[in-house]
Structure 1
Amino acid sequence: MKKNILQIISMIVLLVSIQSCSDSLEETNPNSVSTDVYWSTLTESNDNLTSVYGAMLNHFIWFFDVDAFTSDMAFPSDRRNPRGSYTPFYQQRFSNTNKELTQRWDALYQVVFRANQVIDGLNGMNADLKSQPEWTEQMAQARYFRGLAHFYLHSTYNEGKIIIRDFIPASSEEFSIATSSSEDVMVFFREDLKYAYDNLPASWEQKTRVSAGNAAFNLGKSYLYSSEYDKAIPYLKDVIENSEYGYRLLDGEDVNLLFTQAGDYNDESIFELNYSDKQQTEESQWDEESFNNRWGRYFGPQSGKIGGGNSWVIPSAWLTNEYLNETLDATDARNFVNDGSGGLKLRSVSLRCSQLIAVVNDEDKEYYLQPKANSFYGFGNTKFSNFKKYSNHDISTSEALVLGINWKSGKNVIVDRIADAYLMLAECILQDSGDVSAALNYINPIRKRWGIVQLEATDYNATTLMEHIMHKERPLELAVEGYSTRNIDLRRWGITKSRLEELAAQDWNLIEYVSLDGKKFPKSLIQPGISPDTSDNTITIKEYVDAANNYQDNLHAYWELPLSEVLNNQQSSN
């Protein structure tokens, strides 16, 4: 499956302009694609459609690192010496002069231009080709990605007032287009997504292609984002209940597949970025459409020969603490492990914690092919946890061994999965009808599959359950995942400023952990409160203080139009 799609993409790079840059260079003009499209067969158009999929591999679309820092998910490396290039985002000091705003803008519009090229070429075909099912399926895929890119842009920039591009500019005058209203943009991208929903198959033999389920997921999400809960519910129910899509929550022992190489394109995955550690391995890590990605370096732990990452993106204190304190279901046999003397003991942390982050007191989960995380990683220097989602901890002892350098990872990236649909549907039900029991029907299956105690309807009302979704279920399940998921959630709930202020007021301290084999790990385990030892400032942890002081809704809730767009497009401010 993976090999076939990658071979097609490798041929396409010879036919379309390929964007390549380092993190110190600006993006290539996404309008550099040819406007002369003459395709005489659906094979030719399908080859060019694959270039749209290739454009989605661009790191700058996703910015999992930047988005983690501008939300409440992560800290930029060592808390005593935060990584400088990330501090404008973590401290909420960024503006439209930061290159990242231009990089994401250009990367998403490159997807739009590629999709428009395919749409233009398909529309230019003869009636016989247009009558074939393959023509409709290709048009639906191209319109899906054009709609998705506009949806992402709308969710990120200028309060949704972005530029609608539905044709390939042939001149500088056609390139300079005024921004549209947020409402007009929503109408536009939903028309594309609805066309995709109506015309894509429910599934493909190869899951690398988008299906009607992808369109249903993003239509539902778009209506949730605009607080049109009644319109979101049917699409989200379709994603969950339509057996033709083949989606399901992984449960039982299958939860161990999530975010691992063995779990590529598992039944929970809705949309996945397809990378490889076997195809085109010589390609530069700075080629934004290469088959490798840089996330292993950013998220993997920094620890000599084992681990081999840089620990640039590490979980925030509050998030780590929430994972550590999930209540295990004592009736779930998976929560009991060998105690070393022939008996059983309760797991040290939840299955969700073990699968998604590494912590010093997780004595039961292998990490970088070592028996447990503290076998090789000391969790010192204020780095008391690590994200696992984007690292190669399941297949190698070091990020550097996967492709010979820790800048390159072949690990797939799950963008959308059905767990998000469950949580979005629970929220829509609460907001639409206030039915706590009905909402819990979509929250508790996620908790059950992780062996976490079920929530009882008698303990919540619509308000308190919504707060639980906002501060526990969504961030713990979807941490640093999807397209700017946490940032958009905080903004649409209207709580970004208050959330940062709440976190800035919290105190944390680090204590020593003694492993089951008697090894001591000083200042490695996070706990709430002020440390009684005031002589050591590396014990006390404070986060988000600058962010709480600096954050302003009008500057940071949405990204501004990039300065490059303002300067080069004379109509962009109209």
Structure 2
Amino acid sequence: MKKILLYISCTLFTLINTSCSEDFLEETNPNTISAELYWSNLEESNANLTSVYGALLNNYLISVDFESWRSDIAYPKDRDNPYQNALPWYRKTYNNSVKDYEKSWDAMYQVIWRANQVIAGLNSMGQEFKEQDGWKEQMGQARFFRGLMHFYLNSNYNNGKVIIRDKIPVTITDFSKSVSSSQEVIEFYRKDLIYAYNNLPPTFEDKSRVTAGTAATILGKSYLYTEEYPLAKTYLLDVITNNDYKYKLLEGDDVSLLFTSAGDFNDESIFEINYSQDHQQQDGTFDEESFFNRFARYAAPTVAKGGSFMVPTAWLTYEYSAEELDSNDSRNYVSDGSGGVKLRNVSLRAAQMVAVVNDEQSEYYGTTANVLTSFAGTTFSYFKKLTNHDIVTSENNILETAWKSGKNLVLYRLADVYLMYAECQIKTGNITDALTYINKIRRRWGLVLLGPSDGSSYDFDEVVYTEESLMEHLMYKERPLELCNEGYAQRSIDLRRWGVLGQRFNSLANQEYYLDNYVTQAGTNRNKSLLQIGTSPDPTDATITINEFDEAAANYNSNLHDYLPLPISETLYNQGSLK
């Protein structure tokens, strides 16, 4: 059972994009409750802290949809009839007037606003409260979220130069604030995250709450982003080795729990946004304070009442399908229909992440993928991890509409930490340890391991990896296949910080794929459904020929697309933002 957030409505100032007089902003609002009256005990402050968690429910905050289209992860619907609202992201023609990312920007500052309210209220308490562990834990959570949002903004907007909001604005000067340098923002959010790391407990009974392990994960990611590898390794290794956090990779048959309802807050989970299908069901589809999200609608096939507005790109689909299975792992063997056994059609990892026509072993909306859908119209794969395919036969079975999903959104888990630590080891010349941590991930999925054989009973690819070749594998296979659609804008940020974003779009634009027919084990023919790599038998036939990223490669401009620009609302109404 999920821990359902008790959402406490609290009186907040509202940031609105209209001009205001200084006299108005300096007037006392009679509708607000003063901190001196409200913060009388830690139970009241904890209720307001819950409102910070509530602000995370806003679908625009993480924006899985447009951040996936913006990277190399997702294509907008059918190749012959794409989803028009997504094309600016996919084709790299968006600008600062696009409302989607403006809403994401606003959602982050809403979290910061609420966190600052909690911080101010806690600071107004007497010393007898400040000496209590509960006070420090609440302050640690509030400062974590303030730091996290500044980390997100710094990582993805305006070359890192964003507005530091360290208090609730009161005067016109507070509202009209200029951007800070990227380094100033980094120094600011790291102070918050370090405070959280030092003051949060290793676990909470309520698993939806952030802990010292969550803070260590973000600190490690932050230092990785700035290429400060020794510091990154310190925090990441703490997450991996500190038994007090109780993190561990799911292995064996437990891998089937990942991204399922039964797997909410599993041992591998470090932080996930806690949605619910049982709370505030009457809220509107686009009520960003509701306890449901719209991501299942975006990812599910139409036959399951989804819109399939975001589907895996060709390269991602192919790489999932091409993963080599360890012949010594018993989980990789299934019935051949004739009394014997054979290797699975696709890897355990692929089966958990995506639906493809030749995966005849994995359940998908109560049946198998190729029974549920014909994979027609140049849509040859679907994302699984954002849908409720494990508990219903249709997304309409969750609530009255497929637009309302209570599925948790997984942001960070231990596998990400392993791969970040492996990257640090590659960058500091320790290929052996890097292989160890990458292979921990691959072993739990029953995949062929990387590197020369070590005498164990696993299959290895027998390749002698260098720093360059192992980094290539990490960039284009291990991280995207393991972590697609997780975290905040991680794929775009990764490609940018590696300095390969434009090169990546060019490479994908030059890669050819085509669709072949597939006959199921039951003898059903699924025409033009199985993705193959290589030159199309008939390049003029758009129903089988798959070429992607041509427009992205042509339109990509480092100055325009490496970071999102400041939203037009910020530049219009915040007079100091461009100073």
TM range (shorter): over 0.9
Shift of the alpha carbon at 1:294? 0.5
1:486 equivalenced with 2:481 (yes/no): no
Shift of the alpha carbon at 1:171? 2.2
Measured in 1, the distance between the counterparts of 2:61 and 2:358 equals 35
For 1:220-239, list aligned pairs within 5 A.
Answer: 220-239=220-239
Amino acid at match of 1:359: V
Shift of the alpha carbon at 1:36? 3.6
Question: Could you say which residue in structure 2 is the equivalent of 1:125?
Answer: 125
Measured in 1, the distance between the counterparts of 2:33 and 2:472 equals 50
1:293 equivalenced with 2:288 (yes/no): no
Measured in 2, the distance between the counterparts of 1:266 and 1:34 equals 40
For 1:331-350, list aligned pairs within 5 A.
Answer: 331-350=328-347
TM-superposition CA deviations, 1:142-196 (whole Å, max 9, x none): 0000000000000111111101110101122211111111001000000000000
Question: Could you say which residue in structure 1 is the equivalent of 2:435?
Answer: 440
Provide structure 1 residue ranges, at least 5 long, that are not aligned to the other structure.
none
Shift of the alpha carbon at 1:46? 0.3
Question: Could you say which residue in structure 2 is the equivalent of 1:200?
Answer: 200
Amino acid at match of 2:511: Q
For 1:147-162, list aligned pairs within 5 A.
Answer: 147-162=147-162
Question: Could you say which residue in structure 2 is the equivalent of 1:246?
Answer: 246
Shift of the alpha carbon at 1:126? 1.0
- SS of corresponding position for 1:410: coil
Shift of the alpha carbon at 1:198? 0.2
1:545 equivalenced with 2:550 (yes/no): yes
TM-superposition CA deviations, 1:71-116 (whole Å, max 9, x none): 1111100111111111110000111111122111100000000000
1:466 equivalenced with 2:471 (yes/no): yes
Amino acid at match of 1:329: D
Question: Could you say which residue in structure 1 is the equivalent of 2:457?
Answer: none
**Segments ≥4 residues shifted beyond 3 Å:** 16-20, 31-36
Amino acid at match of 1:162: V
Question: Could you say which residue in structure 1 is the equivalent of 2:528?
Answer: 523
For 1:269-308, list aligned pairs within 5 A.
Answer: 269-303=269-303, 307-308=304-305
Measured in 2, the distance between the counterparts of 1:106 and 1:546 equals 29
Shift of the alpha carbon at 1:480? 1.5
Shift of the alpha carbon at 1:34? 5.1
Shift of the alpha carbon at 1:206? 1.5
Shift of the alpha carbon at 1:37? 2.2
Question: Could you say which residue in structure 2 is the equivalent of 1:357?
Answer: 354
TM-superposition CA deviations, 1:519-548 (whole Å, max 9, x none): 000100111122223453211011000000
- SS of corresponding position for 2:338: coil
Task: Give the alignment partner of residue 533 of structure 1, picking from 535, 538, 541.
Answer: 538
Question: Could you say which residue in structure 2 is the equivalent of 1:315?
Answer: 312
Distance 1:392 1:181, change over 3 A: same
TM-superposition CA deviations, 1:57-82 (whole Å, max 9, x none): 11111111101111111110011111
Shift of the alpha carbon at 1:482? 1.1
CA contact (8 A) 1:236 1:421 kept: yes
Aligned length: 558
Question: Could you say which residue in structure 2 is the equivalent of 1:456?
Answer: 451
Measured in 2, the distance between the counterparts of 1:537 and 1:26 equals 46
Amino acid at match of 1:491: R
Amino acid at match of 2:426: L
Distance 1:35 1:502, change over 3 A: farther
Measured in 2, the distance between the counterparts of 1:441 and 1:95 equals 42
Provide structure 2 residue ranges, at least 5 long, that are not aligned to the other structure.
453-462
For 1:378-457, list aligned pairs within 5 A.
Answer: 378-432=374-428, 434-456=429-451
Distance 1:565 1:88, change over 3 A: same
Measured in 1, the distance between the counterparts of 2:541 and 2:17 equals 42
- SS of corresponding position for 2:189: helix
Measured in 1, the distance between the counterparts of 2:122 and 2:13 equals 22
Measured in 2, the distance between the counterparts of 1:528 and 1:343 equals 30
Amino acid at match of 2:497: R
- SS of corresponding position for 2:407: coil
Shift of the alpha carbon at 1:133? 1.1
Amino acid at match of 1:394: D
Amino acid at match of 1:478: L
Measured in 1, the distance between the counterparts of 2:351 and 2:250 equals 15
Task: Give the alignment partner of residue 375 of structure 1, picking from 371, 374, 379.
Answer: 371
For 1:126-141, list aligned pairs within 5 A.
Answer: 126-141=126-141
TM-superposition CA deviations, 1:122-154 (whole Å, max 9, x none): 000111111111111101110000000000000
Distance 1:255 1:61, change over 3 A: same
Amino acid at match of 2:319: E
Root-mean-square deviation (Å) = 1.9
**TM-score, scaled to structure 2:** 0.94
Shift of the alpha carbon at 1:35? 8.0
Measured in 1, the distance between the counterparts of 2:289 and 2:261 equals 20
Shift of the alpha carbon at 1:2? 2.8
- SS of corresponding position for 1:411: coil
Distance 1:152 1:535, change over 3 A: closer
Question: Could you say which residue in structure 2 is the equivalent of 1:37?
Answer: 35
Shift of the alpha carbon at 1:225? 0.3
Amino acid at match of 1:314: V
Amino acid at match of 2:224: L
**TM-score, scaled to structure 1:** 0.95
Measured in 1, the distance between the counterparts of 2:17 and 2:277 equals 27
Measured in 2, the distance between the counterparts of 1:386 and 1:347 equals 19
TM-superposition CA deviations, 1:488-541 (whole Å, max 9, x none): 000000000000000001111101000011100010011112222345321101
Measured in 2, the distance between the counterparts of 1:228 and 1:410 equals 38
Shift of the alpha carbon at 1:463? 0.9
CA contact (8 A) 2:17 2:569 kept: no
For 1:178-217, list aligned pairs within 5 A.
Answer: 178-217=178-217
Shift of the alpha carbon at 1:334? 0.1
CA contact (8 A) 1:19 1:289 kept: no
Distance 1:34 1:187, change over 3 A: farther
